[in-house]
Amino acid sequence: MNRIAVYSIHAFEKEFLLNANNSQFELLLIEEGLSVNTVALSKGCAGVALFTSDDASAPVIELLAKEGIRFIVTRSTGYDHIDINVAAQKNIPVAYVPGYSPNAIAEHSIALMLALSRHLIQSDKKVKQYNFTIDDLVGTNLQGKTVGIIGTGQIGAVMCKILDGFGCNILAYDIEQNGSLRYNYNVKYCSLEDIFRLSDIISLHAPLNHSTKHLLNEHSFSIMKKNIMLINTARGGLIDTKALLDALNNGTVGYFGGDVYENEKGIFFHNYSSEGISDPILLALINHRNVLLTSHHAFLTREALQSIAETTIGNIHCFVSGQSNPNQLKP
């Protein structure tokens, strides 16, 4: 039984997934996201392939087990949408994509930094209105700025490399330090408090879990420099968004560039241009003059999509064939 239910399939990934599959498995492409209401669509399938916006919480996994689902693969590096402990209790192994293109995320983060520091969005709007004045577009250099990198895994490491090229002073925090970053890019590891106190720019590249939920909160913002730039292309839940709005309004955070939002599920990856959205916090972020928000597409490059598809099919192959899977998550 080699039928796989692929939930939340998007047009941008279909070509890559089908090419990587090369008719190995019967892929049931489902546009709906996985939830308690859509579990039944996986009937007769050996496994399910999820996207980051899917719901694989305990109640959903209980239902998947009843449907006879034998494994779960997620087409993402993040797996906070999956209750891997309950999955383990149900003997349903879970695999993820540990790294597809750290450059894609890192380069998007740098793009947000540059767009904010040089007022590129405002300048573009003015030019399109035939307004070529520049008095309100005074920006800042990245060179010489102190940048705090929280999380120095694959993406954070690429950030350090790029920022070193800009001539930035790089501070970093991680539970596991990367000695090569210290040697090659003069990265200085320090405490979170020092990151908050000393950085001109902070960029988040940490996973979301119980210990990192609202890592940036009212206290964090209270000890930061005034007019700091904050970048988040990791997970929305790393930031207490209400506290962020307060920090934006009181001038602690001068600029915020984000590709994620803590309550994005059910909003991002959907088109609400006709009916609009009702989330007041998200609306406040979108309409803030010093905020640049993109819709969770930092990963969206051809190189990354190909890598995600190939790793996903590889994970499925391991589970179907009973081979050891190096990408299997431990509870």
Instruction: Name the domain count of the chain.
Output: 2
Same domain, 115 and 90: no
Same domain, 73 and 166: no
Residues with catalytic function: 235, 264, 296
Q: Does 158 fall in a domain?
A: yes
Q: How far apart are CA 183 and CA 239, in angstroms?
A: 30
Q: What is the pLDDT of residue 100?
A: 80
Q: What is the pLDDT of residue 1?
A: 62
Q: Compute the half-sphere exposure of residue 74: CA atoms within 13 Å on the CB side of its CA.
A: 28
Give this prediction's pTM.
0.91
Same domain, 120 and 233: yes
Whether the CB-CB separation of 303 and 99 falls below 8 Å is answered with no
Q: What is the pLDDT of residue 62?
A: 97
Q: Does 327 fall in a domain?
A: no
Quote the DSSP letter at residue 64. Answer: H
214-218's contacts with Cβ under 8 Å and 24+ in sequence apart are: 214/238, 214/239, 214/240, 214/243, 215/150, 215/239, 216/240, 216/243, 216/244, 217/243, 218/243, 218/246
Q: Does 326 fall in a domain?
A: no
Provide the CA 182 distance to its chain's centre, in angstroms.
25
Same domain, 52 and 31: yes
Amino acid symbol at 272: Y
Same domain, 163 and 284: yes
Same domain, 131 and 242: yes
Same domain, 106 and 88: no
Q: What is the pLDDT of residue 78?
A: 87
Q: Does 115 fall in a domain?
A: yes
Q: Does 79 fall in a domain?
A: yes
Tokens representing residue 197 in the block: 């106190």
Q: Does 328 fall in a domain?
A: no
Whether the CB-CB separation of 174 and 192 falls below 8 Å is answered with no
H-helix or E-strand spanning residue 247: helix 241-250
Same domain, 10 and 127: no
Find the CATH number of the domain harbouring 42: 3.40.50.720
Same domain, 145 and 266: yes
Q: How far apart are CA 223 and CA 111, in angstroms?
A: 26
Same domain, 74 and 166: no
* Residue stretches of the chain with pLDDT short of 70: 1
Q: Does 247 fall in a domain?
A: yes
Question: Which residue range is the domain that position 253 belongs to?
Answer: 102-293
Instruction: Tell me phi and psi for residue 102, to 5 degrees.
Output: -60, -30
**For the chain, the helix, strand and coil percentages under 3-state DSSP, each to the nearest 5:** 40, 15, 45
Residues 131-167 pLDDT 10s: 999 999 999 999 999 999 999 999 999 999 999 999 9
